[in-house]
């Protein structure tokens, strides 16, 4: 009786229905009820230790990264094989293997872009890197080949936090990289440090000549926007506009519509406060800085981001989906024109690291930490 009661309470707390008396953490399939009454069916496809990112290949299979440094090729049925050719990464803290995306012309060139943390001095300093590699499936096992460094985060600093290093390609084929402030704050306002910035490059790593800051030094020529903290989500909407989210300090997480040349204010302004409790002026006190379209107090700890454009959930086209770590939720954001607001949360008691849209319009999420599940989310029939 006590066991059954505990399971019932766990399900109620997670906001989801159990299957066969099992909690969502135990079930192969389970239901997740949103706050607005929408019910999703979640199906466990595979499990990983500390997964961080995923992307879909043209044939519907996936590439999944894990923070300790493994890259997996995964089918939608859950078969997975480790990809050969991965290199050592600086695993620890918030660092390790990070994002993975395909080149827009992947069908022609087989290029994948991978971000990771590295150290070049035996662990004294660290920084993020984006590399390009060929993805080869011609042999017995898939492998990476012809690896080339595309971008290196500068400067390298002590500590293993706030790398950000999310990657996205714009509609015009330009490469965008989020570069966190490395928890040092001030570099986000320093043109001589490529930290707390969004980086824009050509697909080969060269610097385009139409980035906004051409007279602030060579590093600044790579910047698209500045004044950011720790950006762990990036995507383009159907109009080609760039959206990113970032973790605030003590609360004040943000979703921003990014405009080239804008300064988003960190660490001068924030709708959160310092961890010490010392307040930070809010955005509305400094109108020269771009304010977020929506912010969260208390924090949701956003990680992973996709703007939905599929057919499986037609009412959600144009909405953003954000994985929540501390909030343990998948957060749906209603985006209308240049404004946004939280519309719904789906909770099942797990930290959500990544969210992507599948080829058929289903939503796919990666839970966080050891034993994390890859889940496919579909409408309840």
How far CA 76 is from CA of 44, 63, 335, 366, 379, in Å, comes to 10, 11, 29, 13, 17
- Residue 218: burial class (beta carbons within 10 Å; 0-12, 13-18, 19+): exposed
The C-alpha atoms of residue 193 and residue 186 are separated, in whole angstroms, by 9
Largest separation between any pair of C-alpha atoms in the chain: 71
Per the structure block, which two tokens stand in for 356? 């992507």
Per the structure block, which two tokens stand in for 66? 């894990």
- Other C-beta atoms closer than 10 Å to the C-beta of 47 total 15
The per-residue DSSP string of 114-162 comes to EEEEE-SSTTS-BEEEEEEEEEE-SSSS-EEEEEEEEEE-SS-BSSS--
Q: Are 65 and 71 in contact (CB under 8 A)?
A: yes
Question: CA torsion sign, 204 to 206 to 207 to 209?
Answer: negative
Tell me, yes or no, if 245 is annotated catalytic: no
- Other C-beta atoms closer than 10 Å to the C-beta of 109 total 14
What are the phi and psi torsion angles at 38 (to 5°)?
A: -70, 140
Strand order in the sheet with 175-179: 164-169, 175-179, 197-201, 223-226
The C-alpha atoms of residue 28 and residue 112 are separated, in whole angstroms, by 31
Question: Kindly report the CA angle at 236 between 231 and 237, in degrees rounded to 5?
Answer: 130
- Which of 103, 162, 245, 283 is an active site residue? 162
Per the structure block, which two tokens stand in for 72? 């997996």
Q: Which residues are catalytic?
A: 162
């Amino acid at each position: 009786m006590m066991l059954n009661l505990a399971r019932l309470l766990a399900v109620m707390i997670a906001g989801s229905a159990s299957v066969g008396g099992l909690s969502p953490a135990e079930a192969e399939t389970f239901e997740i009820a949103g706050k607005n009454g929408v019910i999703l069916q979640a199906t466990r496809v595979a499990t990983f230790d500390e997964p961080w990112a995923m992307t879909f290949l043209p044939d519907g299979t996936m590439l999944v990264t894990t923070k300790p440094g493994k890259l997996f090729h995964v089918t939608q049925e859950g078969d997975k094989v480790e990809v050969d050719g991965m290199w050592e990464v600086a695993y620890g803290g918030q660092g390790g293997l990070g994002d993975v995306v395909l080149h827009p012309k992947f069908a022609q060139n087989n290029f994948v872009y991978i971000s990771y943390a590295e150290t070049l001095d035996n662990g004294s300093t660290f920084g993020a890197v984006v590399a390009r590699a060929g993805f080869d499936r011609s042999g017995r096992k898939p492998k990476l080949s012809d690896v080339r460094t595309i971008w290196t985060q500068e400067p390298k600093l002590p500590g293993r936090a706030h790398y950000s290093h999310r990657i996205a390609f714009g509609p015009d084929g330009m490469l965008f990289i989020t570069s966190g402030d490395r928890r040092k704050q001030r570099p986000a306002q320093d043109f001589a440090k490529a930290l707390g910035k969004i980086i824009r490059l050509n697909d080969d790593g060269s610097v385009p000549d139409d980035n906004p800051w051409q007279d602030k030094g060579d590093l600044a020529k790579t910047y698209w926007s500045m004044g950011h903290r720790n950006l762990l989500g990036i995507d383009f909407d159907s109009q080609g506009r760039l959206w990113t989210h970032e973790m605030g300090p003590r609360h004040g997480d943000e979703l921003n519509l990014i405009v080239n040349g804008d300064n988003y204010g960190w660490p001068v302004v924030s709708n959160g406060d310092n961890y010490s409790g010392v307040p930070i002026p809010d955005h509305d006190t400094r109108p020269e800085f771009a304010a977020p379209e929506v912010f969260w107090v208390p924090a949701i700890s956003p990680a992973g981001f996709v703007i939905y454009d599929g057919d499986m959930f037609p009412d959600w086209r144009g909405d953003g989906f954000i994985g929540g770590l501390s909030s343990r939720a998948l957060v749906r954001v209603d985006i209308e024109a240049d404004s946004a607001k939280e519309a719904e949360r789906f909770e099942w008691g797990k930290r959500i690291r990544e969210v992507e849209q599948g080829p058929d319009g289903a939503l796919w999420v990666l839970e966080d930490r050891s034993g994390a599940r890859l889940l496919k989310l579909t409408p309840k029939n």
